[in-house]
């Protein structure tokens, strides 16, 4: 989109006017503000009233969606057009959770049938693992699963299994390995028994360096204990490369399809979700898919003013491109969502961390900022100091369930109180005079009041959005993930960038492959830059000395 357009100019002009106001004053001016700036979907509430915006702001942001043709972008994605233009691919992750008669499945009938066939195959395999019908090479039941992958093939499943642990009771424990730092694999297999371990290898190409290095090491671990013939019983593959998986020794019935139109960070709904399916069972996995499907329908049919993903996307544009906020914190008040931020971080930053438009021209506005965060209340005792009194304004998304799976006395009410108190404190702050009164009420001397007050003053007027839902169940988790997926898509459409490629990941991999031989060579090549050359030489000396 042309950021010199009237839509962008109007927003920038509007931001100058609204900067003279505070969020507190907006509430004072409009007693109905909460009702106006909330949206609901199937038990989930989005409250964005604690942001520095008005109905005029939303109206002007909505103009961006018209100018960029957001409705047409959405239509193209769901119909299967090749919107990933640099790789000439569709982005059809929504098909993975679509119902039989949805517009997406009807527009992509052949692919939808493939998805359903794959899901049935996954479900059958998962049921056999859970029931004990599928065993290791010696006939013993599987007691552990080792899932090997990298990026989205690990981040998403590990997040979901942790989040849905109340639904994994009596299931087989699942360990995840993604790093090529050898201790990652070593620490896992050192406590596992090869006779009772199933290994899932997740790689679309079955050629990914990190994944395959770990996979071959795991294969050695199995064969050294059980022999080469055990590989077929102890390995399954989540991959599209059947030739490579068969060469590895994996049986065709244990190879589950991935398609080129499924990006890694959007693959949790595909065969990459097999460990989730094994963990929570088919009924709960269907609820997980249904949650995302519910959001898909809402996203494609609901008006902008109440459309949760679009609203989140527009607020993100307002904060990043207009107000210039460089990062956003996501704070789930649920310990089981401790890996959720990492998943959303990948979705947003890998998708929209771009600086060129679809046509290859340079973008003239800020795109994706830094997405980061931690679970509350832990975060309150680490970086909340920065949120409240730091020199940067950092918008926050707070996530909170009204009900807990484990209702211990006083716990959940205390958790909710802490969550709501933080968003209130960020908004309201406490000025110098209020702080002095507060300190006097605590019995401090006037000297101490004057000395401490500047340090205990909170500017306030710091924006936050709260997402409240009934309980963190499979459907709700599916909804939350899909909301952030579509939020990311909205922003990419407005910035006119390709949210579905990730060329920024490739250069480092290419250079790593080039540098690997130099670490083994007797002499470091002269063509390397002095820093890289010096570090390689240093590593060689240490490894030779200490080996």
Instruction: Give the 3-state secondary structure of residue 398.
Output: strand
Lookup result for tokens 């956003």: 328
Predicted confidence (pLDDT) per residue in 457-501, tens digit:
999 999 999 999 999 999 999 999 999 999 999 999 999 999 999
- What is the rounded CA–CA span in Å between residue 495 and residue 136? 51
Q: What is the DSSP string of 96-115?
A: GG--TTSHHHHHTHHHHHHH
Check whether 377 has a pLDDT greater than 90. Answer: yes
| Average pLDDT for 195-215 | 95
Check whether 388 has a pLDDT greater than 70. Answer: yes
How many C-alpha atoms does 446 have within 13 Å on its Cβ side?
Answer: 0
- Quote the pTM value: 0.96
Range of the domain at 534: 508-546
Instruction: For residues 349 and 371, state if they share a domain.
Output: yes
What integer pLDDT is reported at residue 3 of this predicted model?
Answer: 75
Lookup result for tokens 């006119």: 496
Instruction: For residues 330 and 471, state if they share a domain.
Output: yes
Predicted confidence (pLDDT) per residue in 278-317, tens digit:
999 999 999 999 999 999 999 999 999 999 999 999 999 9
CA distances from 32 to 28, 38, 431 (A): 10, 11, 25
Residue 101 belongs to domain with CATH number? 3.40.50.10490
Assess if residue 75 is contained within a domain: no
Residues tagged active-site:
350, 381, 509
Instruction: For residues 222 and 127, state if they share a domain.
Output: yes
What integer pLDDT is reported at residue 524 of this predicted model?
Answer: 81
What integer pLDDT is reported at residue 545 of this predicted model?
Answer: 87
Instruction: For residues 407 and 542, state if they share a domain.
Output: no
Assess if residue 62 is contained within a domain: yes
Instruction: For residues 332 and 475, state if they share a domain.
Output: yes
Assess if residue 297 is contained within a domain: no
- What is the rounded CA–CA span in Å between residue 460 and residue 21? 12
Assess if residue 421 is contained within a domain: yes
Domain boundary among 285, 315, 341: 285
Residues above pLDDT 70, as percent of the chain: 100
Following CA atoms 308, 314, 318, 319 in sequence, which dihedral angle do they give, to the nearest 10 degrees? Answer: 50
Pairing verdict, β 44-47 and 38-41: antiparallel
Instruction: Evaluate whether 284 touches 167 at the Cβ level (below 8 Å).
Output: yes
Instruction: For residues 251 and 382, state if they share a domain.
Output: no
- Establish whether the linkage from the previous residue to 377 is cis, with ω within 30° of 0: yes
Instruction: For residues 281 and 332, state if they share a domain.
Output: no
Check whether 1 has a pLDDT greater than 70. Answer: no
For residue 194, give the DSSP letter.
Answer: G
| Average pLDDT for 345-365 | 96
Residues above pLDDT 90, as percent of the chain: 92
Assess if residue 198 is contained within a domain: yes
Check whether 169 has a pLDDT greater than 90. Answer: no
Tokens encoding 436: 């002095």
- What is the rounded CA–CA span in Å between residue 438 and residue 98? 55
- What is the rounded CA–CA span in Å between residue 382 and residue 393? 17
| Average pLDDT for 407-425 | 96
pLDDT classification of 337: cutoffs 50, 70, 90: very high
Assess if residue 397 is contained within a domain: yes
Predicted confidence (pLDDT) per residue in 436-466, tens digit:
999 999 999 999 999 999 999 999 999 999 9
Assess if residue 296 is contained within a domain: no
Handedness of CA 67, 393, 350, 256 (dihedral sign): negative
Instruction: For residues 125 and 265, state if they share a domain.
Output: yes
Instruction: Give the 3-state secondary structure of residue 154.
Output: helix
pLDDT classification of 506: cutoffs 50, 70, 90: confident
Which parts of 80-196 fold into alpha helices (H)?
A: 103-107, 109-131, 152-163, 183-189
Instruction: For residues 354 and 437, state if they share a domain.
Output: no
How much is the mean pLDDT over the chain? 95
Instruction: For residues 232 and 335, state if they share a domain.
Output: no
CA distances from 39 to 253, 302, 306, 459, 481 (A): 45, 11, 5, 28, 17
Instruction: Evaluate whether 388 touches 529 at the Cβ level (below 8 Å).
Output: no
198: left (phi over 0), alpha (psi -120 to 50) or beta: beta
Assess if residue 81 is contained within a domain: no
Q: Report the chain's C-alpha Rg in angstroms.
A: 26
Instruction: For residues 260 and 121, state if they share a domain.
Output: yes
**Which string of b and e fits 187-203 if b means at least 16 CB within 10 Å?**
ebbeebebbbbbbbbbb
Instruction: For residues 138 and 239, state if they share a domain.
Output: yes
| Average pLDDT for 210-234 | 97
SS (H, E, C) 224-286: HHHCHHHHHHHEEEECCCHHHHHHHCCCHHHEECCCCCCCHHHHHHCHHHHHHHHHHCHHHHH
- What is the rounded CA–CA span in Å between residue 158 and residue 156? 6
Number of domains comprising the chain: 4
Predicted confidence (pLDDT) per residue in 93-140, tens digit:
999 999 999 999 999 999 999 999 999 999 999 999 999 999 999 999
């Amino acid at each position: 989109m042309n950021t010199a357009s009237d839509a962008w100019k109007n927003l920038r002009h509007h931001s100058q006017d609204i900067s003279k106001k505070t969020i507190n004053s907006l509430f004072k001016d409009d007693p109905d503000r909460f009702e106006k700036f909330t949206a609901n979907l199937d038990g989930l509430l989005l409250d964005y009233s604690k942001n520095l915006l008005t109905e005029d702001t939303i109206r002007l942001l909505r103009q961006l969606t018209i100018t960029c043709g957001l409705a047409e972008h959405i239509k193209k994605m769901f119909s299967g057009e090749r919107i990933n233009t640099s790789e000439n691919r569709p982005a059809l992750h929504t098909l993975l959770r679509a119902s039989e008669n949805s517009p997406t499945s009807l527009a992509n009938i052949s692919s939808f049938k493939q998805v359903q066939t794959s899901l049935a195959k996954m479900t059958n395999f998962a049921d056999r693992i859970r029931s004990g019908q599928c065993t290791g090479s010696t006939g013993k039941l599987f007691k552990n699963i080792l899932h090997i992958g990298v990026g989205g093939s690990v981040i998403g499943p590990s997040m979901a299994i942790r989040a849905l642990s109340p639904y994994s009771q009596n299931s087989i424990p699942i360990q995840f390995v993604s790093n090529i730092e050898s201790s990652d694999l070593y620490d896992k297999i050192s406590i596992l028994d090869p006779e009772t371990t199933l290994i899932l290898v997740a790689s679309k190409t079955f050629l990914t360096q990190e994944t395959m290095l770990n996979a071959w090491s795991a294969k050695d671990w199995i064969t050294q204990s059980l022999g080469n013939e055990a590989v077929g019983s102890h390995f399954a593959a989540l991959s599209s490369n059947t030739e490579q998986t068969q060469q590895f020794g994996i049986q065709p019935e244990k190879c589950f399809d991935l398609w080129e139109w499924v990006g890694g960070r959007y693959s949790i709904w595909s065969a990459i979700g097999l460990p989730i399916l094994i963990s929570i069972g088919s009924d709960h996995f269907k609820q997980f898919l249904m949650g995302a499907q519910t959001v898909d329908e809402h996203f494609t049919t609901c008006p902008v003013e109440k459309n949760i993903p679009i609203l989140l996307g527009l607020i993100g544009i307002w904060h990043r491109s207009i107000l210039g906020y460089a990062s956003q914190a996501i704070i789930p008040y649920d310990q089981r969502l401790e890996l959720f931020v990492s998943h959303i971080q990948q979705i947003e930053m890998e998708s929209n961390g771009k600086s060129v438009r679809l046509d290859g021209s340079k973008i003239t506005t800020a795109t994706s900022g830094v997405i980061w965060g931690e679970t509350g209340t832990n975060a309150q005792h680490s970086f909340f100091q920065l949120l409240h009194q730091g020199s940067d304004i950092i918008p926050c998304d707070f996530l909170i369930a009204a009900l807990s799976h484990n209702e211990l006395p006083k716990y959940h009410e205390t958790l909710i109180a802490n969550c709501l108190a933080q968003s209130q404190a960020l908004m309201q702050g406490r000025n110098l005079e209020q702080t002095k009164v507060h300190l006097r009420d605590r019995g401090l001397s006037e000297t101490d009041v004057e000395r401490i007050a500047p340090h205990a003053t909170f500017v306030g007027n710091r924006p936050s959005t709260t997402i409240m839902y009934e309980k963190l169940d499979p459907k709700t988790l599916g909804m939350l993930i899909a909301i952030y997926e579509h939020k990311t898509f909205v922003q990419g459409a407005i910035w006119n960038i390709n949210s579905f490629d990730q060329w920024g990941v490739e250069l480092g991999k290419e250079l790593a492959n080039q540098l690997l031989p130099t670490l083994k060579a007797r002499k470091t090549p002269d063509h390397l830059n002095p820093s890289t050359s010096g570090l390689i030489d240093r590593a060689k000396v240490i490894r030779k000395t200490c080996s």
